[in-house]
Amino acid sequence: MKKLVLVLLALAIATGSVFAAGVSAKSNLSTGWVQNPSKNVEARRVDSSIYNIGGTAFVKDGLYFELGNQFIIKQYSHKGLNGPFEGKKFKESQPVLFFPDLVALYKKDNWAASFNFTIISGGGKVNYKDGTALTSAALMALGSPAHKVKVNSVVYGQELTFAFKPKDWISVAAGIRFAESTQKMDLTVESFGIKDEGYKASGFGVGGVFGVHAKPVENLDLSFQYKTRLPINMFVTDVDDSIAALGISIEDYESDIPAEILFGAGYRISRPLYVSMGFGYFLGKRAYQHSALSNLRNGGGDDWENSWNIQAGIEWDINDKFTLMGGYNFGQSAANDTTNSFFSPVLANHNIMLGADWKISDQFTAAFGAMGLISADKNYTTKMGTFKMETGTYIMSVGLTYKPL
């Protein structure tokens, strides 16, 4: 019986894209983005290392270290609109209390070098304490026993970049990207003696990043940045005995981060006021996402969509110590009806941000930000009926920049 339960659950999970969110590259890579999402043209702060490497050559001379963290309250849910689960809602709301970013940047005369560490995909645990529609449907014939599904996926990213200004008004930049991915899935059906049965996997990828920043006139900034696809080949490192008994023999699979094309434009209207806009395009069709159970999916190919986002922001320097900022971002989903997932829904979303910088001294600057996300809800039709999928996310962020004297 235990093996039968695991077979049913594994087949249900394999039918969906468990780690679907990975192909939808994250934008909330720093505390600064939570303050103002229009970062593609950033050339004033240290996190230009993340969003606009060409802009690092326009930062004021000096050595900088920046550390930030985001506190994320999220909720994923899907509710049956018809079929056997009509009116039933499955949800999870596991918070993420540790979502760090780190940047080190050195600027001197007409060149700059930087290193950054961010979480470029995943970063939190999905914990469905009452299961999902997929797993519940798989267990219907066995009386729908209480069960849990936990999925944990994170991709850590690092970049080493170098920027150079051949002229005072333009810079060119390039860098190398690294990514380390870990994934873990656990199933629990206590009435059948199944507790945290699953697998673990990890992988590594290398890519590149290129950028240009220009100031054709004094108050205007224009930027371009291209990040190559990060091909990550995942290797299954640990499979629980009960899962192994299913005959799963797959040892590796792909879990890529898509290529990104980023544009930005900003204009200083007056000394205290700066406005900017940005656009990002993500090549999801050229990224591949599977799981350790993907050999149960009849060899089906990927069908991700290219996606995009657009943002606008404003900064107001109140005085030499305080800056207020805010902005709006809209992100289009990379998933569709064949690739979306009950476990981690990928939906179009609207984001509103507010934040402030406080220059404590010549050495220290503190950053504070808050963001609210509203998903563009989606009806998702499956063989089990139609479901309304929703996501909601709220983020509070803090950061500190240190510039040694």
Q: What is the model's pLDDT at position 237?
A: 78
| Burial class of residue 224, CB neighbours in 10 A (0-12, 13-18, 19+) | middle
List, for residues 260-287, the tens digit of each pLDDT value. 999 999 999 998 999 999 999 999 888 8
Residue 15 has pLDDT above 60, yes or no: no
Q: Where are the beta strands (DSSP E) in 81-110?
A: 89-92, 100-108
Residue 250 has pLDDT above 70, yes or no: no
CB-CB contact of 59 with 47 (8 Å): no
Residue 299 has pLDDT above 50, yes or no: no
Residue 35 has pLDDT above 50, yes or no: yes
Q: What is the model's pLDDT at position 376?
A: 81
Q: What is the model's pLDDT at position 298?
A: 41
Q: Give the pLDDT mean for 62-82.
A: 95
Q: What is the model's pLDDT at position 99?
A: 94
Please name each of the domains of the chain with its CATH number. 2-402 (2.40.160.60)
pTM assigned to the model: 0.91
Q: Where are the beta strands (DSSP E) in 168-232?
A: 170-189, 194-214, 220-227
Percent of the chain with pLDDT over 90: 56
List, for residues 138-159, the tens digit of each pLDDT value. 888 788 789 898 888 899 999 9
Q: Give the pLDDT mean for 312-335.
A: 94
How far is CA 375 from each of CA 345, 346, 372, 386, rounded to the nearest angstrom? 10, 9, 10, 18
